[in-house]
Chain A
Amino acid sequence: MKVPQLIAAALLVAATGAFAQATVKIGEVNSYKAQPAFLEPYKKGMELAIEEINAAGGTKFELITRDDNANPGDAVRAAEELVSREKIDVLAGSFLSNIGLALTDFAKQKKIFFLAGEPLTDKIVWQNGNRYTFRLRPSTYMQAAMLVPEAVALKKKRWAVVYPNYEYGQTAVATFKTLMKAAQPDVEFVVEQAAPLGRVDAGAVAQALADAKPDAIFNVLFGADLSKFVREGNTRGLFQGREVVSVLTGEPEYLDPLRDETPNGWVVTGYPWYGIQTPEHKAFFLAYHRKYKDYPRLGSVVGYTMIKSIAEGVKKAKSADTEKLIAAFSGLTHESPFGKITYRAEDHQSTMGAFIGKTRNEGGKGTMVDYRYLDGAKFLPPAAEAKKLRPAE
């Protein structure tokens, strides 16, 4: 830009109000290398959202991403770098719960707005919640709570549970057990298997579950652990005559790799991208497919919606200032590919929901059938109650 142009631009900025022209910088930290199956589509979703927002005119947004090497210490350093060198306005991202929590605390310390996209741990909005942090995705609690009515409807007494041995698995199982006992007092949990993440001894686990003779199984395994468990379970007849209720299994990230091994009739939460006919989703799907010649995964929806939320928040606040943004996000409602979502003022959790349905093996491909969308708002504790779970500010 030549000097006269620069002056003209500066005058224009002054004339239209400084804010309208300034670019809002979103700094995003995530474990791209450690979780590529989930985060590559997620990044594509974010980039699509940025493109759409900037094409629509108004405030411009810029996205700067950093890899945290799946290590909370590195994540905090990356966040420091984004804040101090890149001068970001908004912090976003994270996938792993421990990193999400580290950044939640960082946001509180540095007094910067943080929108956690992916991480599921309840603590981000409850036990460790703070006024600077909001979260988009339905939490572990919500995912388990959505499955409980379905599990109760199965009318099974003896349940087996299997989960990855870290906070996500532990919390999902604890929530499931508590809610089940409340809804169906005669429920029995006959066997419990905690497998080290990524290292499940699938044959032994499948046999241990079968030996306990449960009527139904609640599964929290995902990724490579899930593939191993499903194959062993199929071979050993573990799932024959038994109902299975399973968290996240309907998400393309985890369902697609199962292919011809996909079991029939599991009750799962997930994302059946092939059948959602709402106009919001259709528009998103077409745009995504046009840009990447690929179908979106759940990660794509999360990345896309996270950026859209920030843009809507900035629009409502008419500023990217942290305090104004916090005020704007409290109760912010906007359209997403899954319909309207609202960030609850009381606990900063969005009401984004999930699809629940049954798995079906269609010619060697895993799909979801009989699915419906469950609004997250219905599966959260009442706002006043959730507020009590948060530390006093």
Chain B
Amino acid sequence: MSFSAFLVQLLNGLAGASSLFLVAAGLSLIFGVTRIVNFAHGSFFMLGVYAAYSLAGWMMDRLGAGGFWLALPAAALLVGAVGALVEVVLLRRIYRAPELFQLLATFALVLVIKDAALWFWGPEDLLGPRAPGLAGAIDILGRRFPAYDLLLIAVGPVVLGLLWLLLTRTRWGTLVRAATQDREMVAALGVNQAWLFTAVFALGSLLAAFGGALQLPREPANLGLDLVTIGEAFVVVVVGGMGSIPGAYVAALLIAEVKALCVGLGTVDVFGMAFSFSKLTLVVEFLVMALVLVLRPWGLFGRPQAPSRQAGAAEAPLRPASRSFKIAAALLGLALLALPLLSAGSPYTTVLAIDLLTAALFAASLHFIMGPAGMHSFGHAAYFGLGAYGAALLALRAGWPMEAALLGAPLVAAAGALVFGWFCVRLSGVYLAMLTLAFAQIVWALAFQWDDFTGGSNGLTGVWPAPWLANKTAYYGLTLALVAGSVLALRRALFSPFGYALRAGRDSPLRADAIGMPVKQLQWAGFVVAALFAGLAGALYAFSKGSISPESMAVGKSVDGLVMVLLGGLQTLSGPLVGAVSFTWLQDSVARSTDYWRALLGGIVLLLVLAFPQGIAGAVKQLVERRTA
């Protein structure tokens, strides 16, 4: 790469950074004030592109070139209004739910918005018009550089400046900053929080949509934009430091530049080996994030998060199961044992039950670190995937018998957690969550890219169980035994001194430390235990499907895990099981019932969210307690 090529690649990075910054700034604002991890933020970006496409077409017919320039802010305002509506109708009702629960609502919104966009705009990609007046290119260092990109380069700093003015020079901005630091104090001083939250959410959505609208001349409106965007936006926010707007700009710049340079470098000979930097673009933002978080636990410009006092009521201590609960669990166990007999007429029940059981174990293992250990993992799929790949590779490449591979696979996952966990437990809160996600993405990219060993994007096939387990009923029996045993073991661990210590470390790290408990080491051990069981779930899954591919450890799988745990209820031990079974079963049956099954699934989850803000199992528990009290 010549020096002039390098400079122009830097300009490309600058142009790419602007949209990214707008989206990330919105996400950061929303999180700072409302503490909502807004999964739907990428969907607002996508809506911004679609809305700009439609409005530009409509306005350019009537107003000519000027219509295009009006359409971009109009699209942003429109989506901002949608954001306000979402806040008022939905999110406002669940602020008092336990931490992270709102994530479930925004996950459902992603599904609903995606299907709504498909219904309204159709399946085909929609490439917008070029920007009137800036359609061409200008010569920079002997290369043609799009004129519109120069505008984009300017937009980022301008919006940054405007946001800075808004936050530091207006009363509203002062309130937003105050609410970011201490929401209760702001409320005590008589500020109407409800409207503050609505306004912030609307502004955040508006920024996301404006970022999308600005992309109209650069990329087609399509249904994949939401998930592509949300991942990058989270990375930028966390690298910059949650809540820091200048941090978001610097991080957006950093990520965009690193990407442009990877592309610019292309294939480079390193010590005689050809190394393709362009392939690195698959995962480079997550590598940057992992590096930043390991070196600076609060991001580049962030500060430790003030504890949120407004989150739901403090969690009640765990109690050993009551007698009636034990009887109910034993009855359920018997029913599950008899299931193949009871459903002899419909063999599919057994097939589905195997999937439900593996999902339940996966969710239970995630709950183990999320709930009692208090470490929110956004990358738990890594350990599920390591287990699945571990099983497949031990069986196919090392030639182990299936039974040995099944038992060896969880150790692969635990080994991964031993390394990653060491870094992760040094952080807390959202930063920890994002570091787990970064590691998960790195593992995913390895499996995706390493063709000769992991089968690359196609994955591995021919991972079938031993002949004596080939029958679905036999395999169901094995799965039931292992899952039930694992769930009981996890539960037992929580009532052992180790479990009490984990909970102490979560509820009061300082006091736990003061009485001599090594909190970080306990958390590290908890991390490894959870990974071990997630790995077992992955291995069971691999042998039940006969094949394994990188999807099993992609973001979507981690998100599914979160959804299951939250849907069931984070604060009960049976919550993850209930959540896993209901979510997987819902998905299986809804997908068959209608073309727009994603929207239907999202709608059902929304209803459940509104009806059971403690999760399904949490609501049942409350009901029982109220009866007995």
Residues of A within 8 A of B (CB): 32-33, 36-37, 40, 66-67, 69-74, 76-77, 80-81, 84-85, 97-98, 101-102, 104-106, 109, 121, 123, 128, 165-167, 170, 191-196, 198-199, 201-205, 207-208, 210-212, 223-224, 227-228, 231-232, 235-237, 253, 256-259, 261
Contact A257–B137 (Cβ < 8 Å): no
**With A109-B464, A167-B456, A207-B8 in contact, is A201–B16 under 8 Å at CB?**
yes
Q: Which residues of B contact A193 (CB under 8 A)?
A: 263, 266, 278
A40-B123 Cα distance, complex, nearest whole Å:
8
Q: Which residues of B contact A202 (CB under 8 A)?
A: 218-219
Q: Determine the residue in chain B with the shortest Cβ distance to A391.
A: B462
Contact A210–B457 (Cβ < 8 Å): no
A167-B222 Cα distance, complex, nearest whole Å:
23
A227-B126 Cα distance, complex, nearest whole Å:
9
- Interface residue total, chain B, C-beta cutoff 8 A: 76
Q: Which residues of A contact B48 (CB under 8 A)?
A: none
A120-B587 Cα distance, complex, nearest whole Å:
28
Any chain A CB within 8 A of the CB of B582? no
A32-B145 Cα distance, complex, nearest whole Å:
38
**With A32-B595, A73-B545 in contact, is A207–B276 under 8 Å at CB?**
no
Q: Which residues of B contact A104 (CB under 8 A)?
A: 461
Chain B nearest CB from A229 CB (Å) reads: 10
Chain B nearest CB from A240 CB (Å) reads: 9
| Among candidates A36, A102, A198, residue contacting B549 with C-beta atoms closer than 8 Å | A102
Any chain A CB within 8 A of the CB of B159? no
A199-B259 Cα distance, complex, nearest whole Å:
11
Chain A nearest CB from B609 CB (Å) reads: 21
Q: Which residues of B contact A195 (CB under 8 A)?
A: 278, 281
Contact A36–B547 (Cβ < 8 Å): no
Chain A nearest CB from B602 CB (Å) reads: 12
| Among candidates B1, B281, B545, residue contacting A201 with C-beta atoms closer than 8 Å | B281
Contact B222–A223 (Cβ < 8 Å): yes
> Could you show 26 A-B contacts with beta carbons less than 8 Å apart?
A36-B118, A36-B123, A73-B552, A77-B588, A81-B352, A85-B346, A98-B458, A102-B546, A104-B461, A109-B546, A165-B278, A194-B281, A203-B15, A204-B12, A204-B13, A204-B260, A211-B264, A227-B127, A228-B219, A228-B220, A232-B146, A235-B137, A236-B145, A253-B124, A257-B125, A257-B220
Chain A nearest CB from B199 CB (Å) reads: 32
Closest 10 CB pairs of A and B: A36-B123, A166-B457, A105-B461, A204-B263, A102-B547, A85-B348, A84-B347, A257-B125, A37-B123, A98-B549
A200-B278 Cα distance, complex, nearest whole Å:
10
Contact B348–A128 (Cβ < 8 Å): no
Task: A165-B281, A257-B127 are known; give 10 further A-B pairs, CB within 8 A.
Answer: A72-B545, A84-B346, A97-B458, A165-B449, A167-B456, A203-B146, A205-B263, A207-B143, A208-B9, A232-B218
Any chain A CB within 8 A of the CB of B36? no
Q: Which residues of B contact A235 (CB under 8 A)?
A: 135-137, 144, 146
Q: Which residues of A contact B50 (CB under 8 A)?
A: none
Q: Which residues of B contact A80 (CB under 8 A)?
A: 348, 351
Contact B448–A166 (Cβ < 8 Å): yes
| Chain B 448-492 residues near chain A, CB threshold 8 A | 448-449, 451, 456-459, 461-462, 464
| Among candidates A97, A191, A207, A224, residue contacting B219 with C-beta atoms closer than 8 Å | A224
Contact A194–B12 (Cβ < 8 Å): no
A128-B146 Cα distance, complex, nearest whole Å:
46
A70-B282 Cα distance, complex, nearest whole Å:
19
Q: Which residues of A contact B87 (CB under 8 A)?
A: none
Q: Determine the residue in chain A with the shortest Cβ distance to B264.
A: A208
Chain B nearest CB from A116 CB (Å) reads: 13
Contact A165–B282 (Cβ < 8 Å): yes
Q: Which residues of B contact A84 (CB under 8 A)?
A: 346-348, 351
**With A202-B218, A208-B266 in contact, is A77–B458 under 8 Å at CB?**
no
| Chain B 69-106 residues near chain A, CB threshold 8 A | none
The contact string, 1 if C-beta is below 8 Å from chain A, for chain B 248-276, is 00000000000110011011000000001
A210-B144 Cα distance, complex, nearest whole Å:
10
Residues of B within 8 A of A (CB): 1-2, 5, 8-9, 12-13, 15-16, 118, 123-127, 130, 135-137, 143-146, 149, 217-220, 222-224, 228, 259-260, 263-264, 266-267, 276, 278-279, 281-282, 346-348, 351-352, 355, 448-449, 451, 456-459, 461-462, 464, 541, 545-552, 556, 587-588, 591-592, 595, 597-598
| Among candidates B264, B347, B458, residue contacting A207 with C-beta atoms closer than 8 Å | B264
Contact B458–A123 (Cβ < 8 Å): yes
Contact A81–B219 (Cβ < 8 Å): no
**With A191-B266, A208-B263 in contact, is A72–B459 under 8 Å at CB?**
yes
**With A224-B222, A228-B219 in contact, is A204–B9 under 8 Å at CB?**
yes
Chain B nearest CB from A90 CB (Å) reads: 18
Contact A237–B264 (Cβ < 8 Å): no
| Among candidates A66, A70, A199, residue contacting B592 with C-beta atoms closer than 8 Å | A66
Q: Which residues of B contact A207 (CB under 8 A)?
A: 5, 8-9, 12, 143, 264
Q: Determine the residue in chain A with the shortest Cβ distance to B146.
A: A235
A237-B143 Cα distance, complex, nearest whole Å:
9
Contact A227–B125 (Cβ < 8 Å): yes
A242-B449 Cα distance, complex, nearest whole Å:
31
Chain A nearest CB from B598 CB (Å) reads: 6
Contact A192–B547 (Cβ < 8 Å): no
Q: Which residues of B contact A210 (CB under 8 A)?
A: 143
Contact A101–B458 (Cβ < 8 Å): yes
Q: Determine the residue in chain A with the shortest Cβ distance to B283.
A: A196
Q: Determine the residue in chain B with the shortest Cβ distance to A32.
A: B595
Chain B nearest CB from A191 CB (Å) reads: 6
A227-B49 Cα distance, complex, nearest whole Å:
15
Q: Which residues of A contact B125 (CB under 8 A)?
A: 37, 223-224, 227, 257
Which of B8, B130, B457, B550 is most buried by chain A, counting CB atoms within 10 A of its CB? B457
A290-B323 Cα distance, complex, nearest whole Å:
68
Q: Determine the residue in chain A with the shortest Cβ distance to B127.
A: A227
| Among candidates B224, B545, B546, B588, residue contacting A224 with C-beta atoms closer than 8 Å | B224
**With A205-B263, A236-B143, A257-B220 in contact, is A37–B124 under 8 Å at CB?**
yes
A101-B548 Cα distance, complex, nearest whole Å:
10
Q: Which residues of A contact B556 (CB under 8 A)?
A: 71
A192-B278 Cα distance, complex, nearest whole Å:
8
**With A167-B457, A198-B228, A228-B220 in contact, is A72–B549 under 8 Å at CB?**
yes
Chain B nearest CB from A297 CB (Å) reads: 10
Contact A69–B587 (Cβ < 8 Å): yes
Chain B nearest CB from A219 CB (Å) reads: 14
A123-B550 Cα distance, complex, nearest whole Å:
17
A67-B600 Cα distance, complex, nearest whole Å:
14
Chain B nearest CB from A327 CB (Å) reads: 25
Q: Which residues of B contact A211 (CB under 8 A)?
A: 1-2, 5, 143, 264
A167-B458 Cα distance, complex, nearest whole Å:
7
A231-B137 Cα distance, complex, nearest whole Å:
12
Contact B545–A76 (Cβ < 8 Å): yes
